[in-house]
Structure 1
Amino acid sequence: MSKALRLGLLGGTFDPPHLGHLALARAARDQLALDELRWVPAGAPWQKAGRVLAPAADRLAMVRLLVDGEARMRVDDVEIRRAGPSYTVDTVLALRRERPDADLFLVVGQDQYARLHTWHRWRELLEAVTLAVAGRECAPPQAPAELAGVAHRMVAIDLTPVAVSSTAVRDAAARGADLRAHVGAAVAAYIERHHLYRPSTPLPARS
């Protein structure tokens, strides 16, 4: 009998993707012995409807630049091609139909785990995947109270914290700062070339 495909999914807005995302992806791929880790940029992230995002095509391009050359990783534009809000459960169930024999791991951080009960059809999602959770500050993952009594599969990912966030990168880009240490040279060059995250009016100089 052949071994079941071990497939990881890492979704997100990726506005922009940064080296913290890449560290999480590498840790999940290696520690879970994944045959493949798919990055799935959200097309229309419904929980961030109140914020202006970089165009989906740019976010997709930046993810592809970030993971270029990474073994056993690929970028899936399914949520960008799909009309309407981007619901993780729709992506997972479609993949389950495509690969019913696969072991599916949904890779998340502790912050996403803590609010997973707010996700669309979250109980159905939990039935379809094993959660692969990176705890905060090297601590073991902690299930929120809303999930404590709900049966679900969870494995921990050991991840050394990376001091970077998409918010911080956007703020740095707005100031015209060098982003290479946060997003890598290729993504930094893309942000610069396409003038992403630049304010429409000049920012005041910092004292």
Structure 2
Amino acid sequence: MALMQGPRVGLFGGSFDPPHLAHRALADCALAELKLDKLLWIPAGQPWQKAGRQLAPAEQRCAMVQLMMDGEPRFELDDCELRRSGASYTVETLRERAVNHPGEQLFLIIGQDQYARLNTWRDWPEILQRATLAVAARAGEAMKAAPELQATPHRMLPLALPAMAHSATAVRQQVMRGEDIRPMVGNAVAGYIAQHRLYEKSEY
């Protein structure tokens, strides 16, 4: 499969509800290991796999991503999925990118858990055609993919991510318990969450 030789662009999607320091570590790792020209942080509108939980408002998640991106000029916020009605599907983002920015070499940055179930994503064979998968490998764990994915030719590059036990769920739970979340999200995002009193109620 021939690779395009245009700008190298990473696509890093997620709920970012909230973004935390493991997100930043993965983004920094992708920039360095993939030699990206830029990396797009793409907050999801309503992720189809998380339809049962109410997300924090889009503008607040974007504001927190902006704070998490601070200091790296190659990071950009892309709100394409927030402007789209209905559920957020990665394949639609890749299609739009190909139309609006032809010639880019796209790298889809995902976690190992997402790689293992990528065959459940909408139009997943098309995703494999449109982007190289950059998969964050957890320390000491073997890379796993579903048999369907293993049987389909695709480009996959592992990203060596330092072990970090951070998760957005853990951050939200700590906020509800009144605990200090700065070690997980940094001072700026922690301050924003406190100022706007996010995640203090159980619906988040």
Say which SS state the counterpart of residue 117 (structure 1) adopts: helix
1:26 counterpart residue number = 28
Out of 96-105 and 7-16, give the one that drifted further. 96-105
Deviation at 1:138?
4.5
Calculate percent identity across the aligned residue pairs: 54
TM-score (norm 2): 0.93
Distance 2:116 2:179 in 1: 32
RMSD of Structure 2 on Structure 1 (CA): 1.3
Partner of residue 194 from structure 2, selected from 174, 192, 195: 192
1:162 counterpart residue number = 164
**What whole-Å deviation, never above 9, does each CA across 1:140-163 have from its counterpart, x for those lacking one?**
532222311011111111111112
1:41 counterpart residue number = 43
Tell me the number of residue pairs that the alignment of Structure 1 and Structure 2 aligns.
198
1:114 counterpart residue number = 116
Q: How does 1:95-106 map to 2 (within 5 A)?
A: 95-106=97-108
Partner of residue 178 from structure 1, selected from 158, 170, 180: 180
**What whole-Å deviation, never above 9, does each CA across 1:172-203 have from its counterpart, x for those lacking one?**
01111111110011110111011111026xxx
Which amino acid in 1 is paired with 2:24? L
TM-score (norm 1): 0.92
* Misfit runs of 4+, over 6 Å: none
Say which SS state the counterpart of residue 141 (structure 1) adopts: coil
Asked if 2 retains the 8 angstrom alpha-carbon contact of 1:138 and 1:158, the reply is no
Any stretches of 5+ residues in structure 2 without a counterpart? none
Say which SS state the counterpart of residue 45 (structure 2) adopts: coil
Residues 1:17 and 2:35 are matched in the alignment: no
1:136 counterpart residue number = 138
Partner of residue 148 from structure 1, selected from 147, 150, 153: 150
